Amino acid sequence: MAAFRALSCVLLLSVCNGRTVDHYLAAVYEHVPVVRNASDAPATVGQALELMNKNMDILESAITRASKAGASIIVTPELGIFGWNFTRESIVAFLEDIPSPAANWIPCADPKRFGPTPVQERLSCMAKQNSIYVVANVGDKKPCHPSSNTTCREDRQYFYNTLVVYDSDGKLVARYHKYYLFYEDYFDRPQQPERVTFDAPFGKFGLFTCFDILFYDPAVALVENLQIESVVFPTAWMNILPHLNALEYHSAWAMAMGVNLFSSNINNKELHWTGSGVFPLNGPGSYYYNSKSEEGHLVISQVNCSTRNPKPFHSTTRWNQYATSIPRFPKGENDFSALVIYDNFTFTELRKAQGNYTVCHNDLCCHLSYRMEDKRADEVYALGAFDGMHTAQDPFYLQICTLLKCKTTDLKTCGKPAEESLTKFESFSLSGTFGTKYVFPLLLFSGIELGKEYFEVLKDGRLVSRASIATKPLLTATLYGRWYEKDPSRP
Alpha-carbon Rg for the chain in angstroms: 23
Position 10 pLDDT exceeds 90 = no
pLDDT of residue 329: 80
**What was the pLDDT predicted at 78?**
98
Is it the case that residue 13 has pLDDT exceeding 50? no
Interval 326-347 mean pLDDT: 88
Residue 391's pLDDT is 87
The predicted pLDDT at position 5 comes to: 33
Mean pLDDT of the chain: 92
What's this model's pTM, rounded to 2 decimal places?
0.93
pLDDT at 7: 34
What tens digit of pLDDT does each residue of 352-389 get? 999 999 999 999 999 999 999 999 999 999 999 999 99
Q: What is the CATH number of domain 2-310?
A: 3.60.110.10
pLDDT digits 0-9 by tens, 189-238: 999 999 999 999 999 999 999 999 999 999 999 999 998 999 999 999 99
Active site residues: 78, 178, 210
Q: Higher pLDDT residue, 345 or 314? A: 345
**Residues 77-125: tens digit of each pLDDT:** 999 999 999 999 999 999 999 999 999 999 999 999 999 999 999 999 9
Q: What is the pLDDT of residues 235-284, one digit of tens each?
A: 999 999 999 999 999 999 999 999 999 999 999 999 999 999 999 988 77
- Predicted confidence at residue 292, as pLDDT, reads 93
pLDDT-derived band at 9 (thresholds 50, 70, 90) equals very low
Domain spans of the chain? 2-310, 315-486
